[in-house]
Amino acid sequence: MEELNLVGDWLYYTEQDFIEDKAALKRMNLENEKSETLYMMGGATQLHIYDNWICFINAEDESSLYKMDLNGNEVQSVHAEFTTDLAVYNNQLIISSSEEEGDLKTIIRDTPGNYHSTIMNEEMRDLVKWADYYYYIGENEGLYRIKTTLESEPEVLVEHNISNFTITKQGIFYSLYRRSSMYLEEDNGVYQMDLEGKESLSTKSMTQ
Please give the pLDDT value at position 207: 45
Nearest CA to 132 out of 119, 117, 147, 113 is that of 147
CB 70 within 8 A of CB 53: yes
Residue scoring higher pLDDT (183 or 7): 7
pLDDT digits (tens, 9 = 90+) for 130-145: 999 999 999 889 999 9
Give tens-digit pLDDT for 104-136: 889 888 776 666 788 888 889 999 999 999 999
Per-residue pLDDT band at 206 (split at 50, 70, 90): very low
Closest CA to 6 of 43, 36, 49, 37: 49
> How far apart are the C-alpha atoms of 30 and 105, rounded to whole Å?
38
Residue 33 DSSP class: -
Rounded Cα–Cα distance for residues 57 and 88 (Å): 13
DSSP string, 44-77: EEEEEEETTEEEEEEGGGTTEEEEEETTS-S-EE
Answer yes or no: is pLDDT of 182 > 60.
Answer: no
Phi-psi region of 60 (alpha: psi -120 to 50; beta: other; left: phi over 0): alpha
